Structure 1
Amino acid sequence: MLDELTPDQKKQLVDFIPDIIVETPQSRYAALVYAKFLDGLQGLAVDCFKDWLKKNVLPTLLVLMNMQEQ
């Protein structure tokens, strides 16, 4: 599904990561965008995306929240 997204849509997904992590005025909208994106993924794509989030986003979140050393 990522291949079907325009460069602007891909950038929007990346730009919304901080709004997902920290409560901001954009957080609800960002969550809706991600929910719609995840609904479009199927089977293996969902597992791959979740695995990518765990490997790339979660460690950064833990460091930012001072819950894990760098």
Structure 2
Amino acid sequence: MDLRWSINLLEDGAVVTQDGEYLGTWGIDESDAIYEFTPDGAADPLLCSGFVKFLCDHIKQWHSQQQSGGA
């Protein structure tokens, strides 16, 4: 699979890094206006945005913090 971006939202709802690391799932809320990210193992969305690009930016920042041991 050719992953073009540092954070990729796949058609099946998966969120993966460019290296293929699975981070969780994404979806759209009940209003069909807000994109949401739920980390792997979480029950509820952690991040949300009205724009896919901003959601990906938030996920990238969150993932970077996870890798560095931040909250």
TM norm structure 1: 0.31
Of structures 1 and 2, the one with the larger relative CO (CA 8 A, separation 6+) is: 1
Q: Which has a greater percent of helix?
A: 1
What TM-score, normalized by structure 2, do the two folds share? 0.30
More strand, by proportion: 2
Higher radius of gyration, 1 or 2: 1
